[in-house]
Chain A
Amino acid sequence: MRKYLAFFRTRFNMGLQYRTAAIAGLACQFFWGAMAILAFKAFHDTDPSSFPMSLPAMSSYIWLQQALLTLLTMGGMDNEFFSVIESGNVAYELCRPVDVYGMWYSRSAATRVSNALLRCVPVIVIAALLPAPYGLSAPPDLLTFLTFLLSLVLALAVINAMGMIVYMITFHTITPRGVRLIAVNICDFFSGDIIPLPFFPAGFKEFVELLPFSATANVPLRIYSGDLHGPEMVKLMLLQVFWAAVLIAVGKLIERRELRRVTVQGG
């Protein structure tokens, strides 16, 4: 366990070195968040009765999504892994006395957490200062907030396990370009990153909620804003646990298969 924590720490320290990237990312997130909220407000004002979420809940959803972008989206994968596979430096990763899956899982999670910690504070603080209905409102009660935190951890476990599958496939394809593009787009759409899942047509929405993608950002963000509660919330959180377990198992299976046939080319 100490080993994996050490990876976490080193990666975290490294993440703190990229200040300019964090500032640039922040600017982008504010702009995107404001744009999305204005667009949804326009929809809302046209016909408030058919809008599936309340406007303040919608704003909270968007701001939290922007604050936690690198934590909970497929785009938050650690490019380091792709470059060590492409360059062959992966050879060194394979001659360490640790489980490759565990090592990469903890490192990849650390990348997400360190990137998000740098960025989320300013977004949350400024969004909280914005006037209703545009700002980030407080959660309905403490219990909701605690459930949100638990679901956030589960969402991280799921998205990180999904990212691991992409890394492991890259072992096979060598180049990450295709797999990553497909994975990011599919995941963004089905996790409610582009349009929140409550906006999906009835029937289709219920189907999408069963997919592993919805077990990521969708659940904690909707719990926080009060949109998701009661038995529906419990069901989606249990699905998070289920998908985390399944995806980790699949990732480990691919890892074992790929490591047996890995050939580090050149040199």
Chain B
Amino acid sequence: MMPSASSMSITRLTWINVTKDLRLEWRSRDVFNSMMFFALVVVVVFSFAFEREDSRPVMGGLIWIAFLFSTTMALNQSWARELRNGVLDAYRVSPAPAEALFLGKCLGNFILIMLLECLMAPLFVVFYNLSSVGPLWQLVLIAVLGTWALVVNGTFFAAMSIRTRNRELMLPLLLLPISVPAVISMVTATSQVLTGEGAPVVQMKFLAGFCVIFTTACFLLFETVLNAE
């Protein structure tokens, strides 16, 4: 007797989706290259606009502008891949749960964007003479929570907009307004850690709460979005 997918754990199916997405990206590199290029342009262009000594107070915003728009770019393309050749339909006719696809996409995108952030961090240090006044672990935690907040909402809204004609435009229109509270928190917290002024822990707690609420909501609603006509 063949085991049914419903009897398989959602964790295993999620992992299957993550490895598939990373393999596709490794072979095509279309998402990562465009993200990397965009983030690089932001870093270089803004480095001409600010004096290295003056940039510290605005760095929180600058860092997250680069990652926010790179994330938007990545999310659109990761779903476009599922539409090519109608592959998404093959997933939908399988007994695998939609939630595994959602979590798989979220984790795959999260890994890619965290990788981008790791590669971009030394460039921010070099171009802006950046160093953290506050504890470094806080900066790492803000990066993890902020990236997850963007990815989880972005993956959900990208799925919602894939069948629309102007999906490239729809995603930022849907994602940015809903992510405003998270973006304010991550920018404020990053600036507070970089300058040593204020208490970033409050913002970090807010960001953690945002992640929990939106991960739960998107997880529960994803099947409806996936099957919407």
Pairing of A with B: no
| Chain B residues at the A interface, C-beta cutoff of 8 Å | none
| Chain A residues at the B interface, C-beta cutoff of 8 Å | none
